[in-house]
Structure 1
Amino acid sequence: MTLKRIFLGLLLFLAAAVGYYVYAFVTFASDIQQPHIVKDQSPDKPNKSEIPVWGGKERVNILLMGVDSRERSLDEMPRSDTMLVVSIDPASKTYSLFSVLRDTYVEIPGYGSSRINAALSHGGPSLAMQTISNFTGLPIDYYVITDFEGFKGLVDAVGGVEFEVEKDMYYRDPADKGKYDINLKKGLQHLDGEKALQYVRFRHDAMSDYTRTERQRKFLSALADKMKRGATVLQLPDILESMRPYVQTNLSSLDMVKLAALGLTLDGAGAEGHQLPQPGAFREANRGGSVLLPSVERVQTYVQDVLSKSAEQSPKTDTDSATQG
């Protein structure tokens, strides 16, 4: 299953409609650049000097984070429930996606060793980017954060998704007085925002976070398919309005448009998702609970191998063919 549309689908969708909905897009872009979800504890250390020019050849790496903002005070920093790195190579017109398992136990600069998803709660987006960069060996240029309500709002704004749930899923969440319980039945059904959130959150089976990240990619691909449809494009202002309070990024308005334009040129053939740490590159241990102790060296080697193979497998462009001819 191709994963191209997981991250790029929404941005391409926005780019296609931006000429028609300029006001809606600019308002949305301006608002989500504000730290209304997570405060950055290191505002004086931006990564702007490392951001490549997309007209050039350097790779662009973006950290996507999903957070749980339920019953959280404004001053309380959340952990990142989901972490996904999107790595885009403008030169080869390819991209790769890496899901980072949240129980990965790593060194968080200035805070010692902990689960990798604690970096956001300790130091905000800047520390999360630095920690992921140290783990993967990739310079992280940008971040995008959304929370549960933003995800639900997006699904509801497009009218829900027809989706095949592969098995019965049930979990009672004692911390939320039943508000976020999971209760899904096997089979094809219409998932609204609340039901879709239950599906992507479920991790209470034998493979835990491994199968949960697979389910997330599967549903997001179906959601992107729904968003490509013409009727959904006409709903753009309502979709942006529903998401605006729940999305935060350091992408500027111009950067968003440039990224969407770059996405139109990317080759999605053969693109796959990869989990980090990969099988064989970690061992399980107990550090106040079950964690994964990774071989950072092996993880970084694996990441570089994936990126190299992705670039090598990309089809030759017209420019390449002309040069070789």
Structure 2
Amino acid sequence: MNNQASAEESGSSIEASASPYKDSFQGKDNGDSRMMVLLLGIDQRGTELARTDTIMLAEYDPESESTKIASLMRDTYVNIPDHGYNKLNAAFALGGPELLRETIAENFGIEAEYYSIIDFKGFTHIIDTLSPDGIEMNIEKDMHYVSGGGDTNIDLKEGNHTLDGEELLGYVRFRGDARGDFARVERQQKVIDILKDELVSFQGVLKAPRLIGTLQPYIDTNIGGSKILQLGKDLLMNPMEDVDMLSIPTTDNVWDERKAYPIGLVLNHDEEQTRNTLQLFFGNEE
């Protein structure tokens, strides 16, 4: 009992001190059994404005023991409330997770109740803590990319390889081919499926407390400590076997379109079709 109280206090402390967006975020628990979280992966470089590389909606339903993850491509062309049409990830730059929540609600009719933002440095620490010997991956092609400033250096060879956290981060972030974000999102979902198996393994369960401690400096969330504890207990008692995944826009409903500066190249789509696809995926009826 004391350990649980201590953990809850720790979780509450994290929420209060490390979540600058907590007061502005207006997502509310709607009272049903399901939990809808806006998951964001950011690239924070010094004092530079954080950029949202990864945008996902994750729903966990403890009653059906099901998890669904929808990846929303960052270049998707959407209407940002009070700012007009732009790329989806521009909403985060303009107004943090709250404006991104509003944008998703307005365009897709999905209400995020919570948010979790993880710095990419946190991703590498998760991998290295969960699997110190690396993660076995089949790399589908040679991947080479060096950013202008040299802070991103991806150099991966085709074939089966064991990747550490930094290398796996390069694998999921690489977009230097003809398929761009489509291939990148596929790799992200592939890695999520592998990590899910690692987490629910016996060794993964044993490492869970250390993993939580490792994440603390790199995660920003408004999910309270007690709710995190309950979620962890649910997942340990009923490990998720399958994760349903979707990418938006879908390949049958997307086309490249160039907009005036400074927006540039976007992924345009039939907005009603995209909205209906997401509603159907999450089992909602409007």
Verify same fold: TM over 0.5: yes
Displacement after TM superposition at 1:293 (Å): 1.9
Counterparts of 1:52 and 1:126, CA distance in 2: 17
Q: Which residue of 2 aligns with 1:131?
A: 103
Counterparts of 2:3 and 2:160, CA distance in 1: 34
CA contact under 8 A between 2:9 and 2:225: conserved in structure 1?
no
Q: Which residue of 2 aligns with 1:246?
A: 218
Q: Which residue of 2 aligns with 1:171?
A: 145
Counterparts of 1:201 and 1:44, CA distance in 2: 29
Matched residue type, 2:40: M
Counterparts of 2:184 and 2:13, CA distance in 1: 31
Matched residue type, 1:33: E
Give the secondary structure class of the aligned counterpart of 1:140. coil
Q: Please give the per-residue CA displacement for 1:244-291, whole angstroms capped at 9, x wherever unaligned.
A: 11001111112223334555558755x531111223333321123210
Counterpart among 257, 280, 283 of residue 305 in structure 1: 280
Q: Which residue of 2 aligns with 1:84?
A: 56
Cα distance change, pair 266–133 in 1 and its aligned pair in 2 (3 A)? farther
User: Is 1:146 aligned to 2:118, yes or no?
Assistant: yes
Q: Which residue of 2 aligns with 1:198?
A: 170
Give the secondary structure class of the aligned counterpart of 2:266. strand
Counterparts of 1:87 and 1:53, CA distance in 2: 14
Counterparts of 1:259 and 1:127, CA distance in 2: 26
Larger deviation: 224-233 or 248-257? Answer: 224-233
Q: Which residue of 1 aligns with 2:198?
A: 226
Larger deviation: 86-95 or 109-118? Answer: 86-95
Give the secondary structure class of the aligned counterpart of 1:145. strand
Counterparts of 2:6 and 2:32, CA distance in 1: 25
Counterparts of 2:282 and 2:186, CA distance in 1: 20
Counterpart among 11, 20, 43 of residue 23 in structure 2: 43
Q: Please give the per-residue CA displacement for 1:194-246, whole angstroms capped at 9, x wherever unaligned.
A: 11111111111121101111111112222232233333433334322221110
Matched residue type, 2:163: L
Q: Which structure carries more relative contact order (alpha carbon 8 Å, separation 6+)?
A: 1
Q: Which residue of 1 aligns with 2:45?
A: 70
Cα distance change, pair 123–305 in 1 and its aligned pair in 2 (3 A)? same
TM-score (norm 2): 0.85
CA contact under 8 A between 2:257 and 2:265: conserved in structure 1?
yes
Counterparts of 2:31 and 2:210, CA distance in 1: 32
Counterparts of 1:244 and 1:238, CA distance in 2: 10
User: Is 1:119 aligned to 2:91, yes or no?
Assistant: yes
CA contact under 8 A between 1:28 and 1:240: conserved in structure 2?
no
Cα distance change, pair 20–189 in 1 and its aligned pair in 2 (3 A)? farther
Give the secondary structure class of the aligned counterpart of 1:222. helix
**Structure 1 gap ranges (5+):** 1-18, 312-325
Counterparts of 2:95 and 2:238, CA distance in 1: 35
Counterparts of 2:209 and 2:84, CA distance in 1: 44
Cα distance change, pair 23–152 in 1 and its aligned pair in 2 (3 A)? farther
Q: Which residue of 2 aligns with 1:30?
A: 12
Q: Quick check: which one's strand share is greater?
A: 2
TM-score (norm 1): 0.76
Displacement after TM superposition at 1:26 (Å): 3.8
Q: Which runs of 4+ in 1 moved over 6 A?
A: none
Cα distance change, pair 163–93 in 1 and its aligned pair in 2 (3 A)? closer
